[in-house]
Structure 1
Amino acid sequence: MENQLNSVNVETAVQLIKTNKDLQLLDIRGPYEVKATGFIEGSMLLDPSDRQIIETIENLDRDKEYLLYCASGGRSFAVS
């Protein structure tokens, strides 16, 4: 399976979440941001300040689809 990276807008992300029950959500925000704004239930929280974040991402199942999100899009793009 070829890995593919696509950037999507909020509307497309909402559609993907609604229609793809196997989609794994990765929240790339710090604890203070999650506490301040909440999170999407079922998301895997990945603190960008955690030194193990790269190892965690490298160990994800490559056969699954993931949707990464953060506050503005910069971190989710940087770790992908």
Structure 2
Amino acid sequence: MNIELNICRICGYFEEDYFPWGEDGKTSSFDICICCNVEFGYEDINLDSIRKFRTSWISSDKFLSNSKYANFLRNIPKEFL
């Protein structure tokens, strides 16, 4: 199993049994991330939108309310930074 398939491209949230972009990494679920509220397959479709949404996420009150969210960012695969 490729662990990077279980990670939100925006915030780095990880859930072991969940695949926001499918087990193939190409088929979006169109679900909403429970951490940053991104819609998989819409707001994280390309690198520009990923960076734009991440900028918005890291300036949000929720992100700033708990240091665990900053730690999640370390999970983001390099190709999505």
Structure-1-length-normalised TM-score:
0.31
Which structure: larger Rg? 1
In the superposition, the TM-score normalised over structure 2's length comes to 0.31
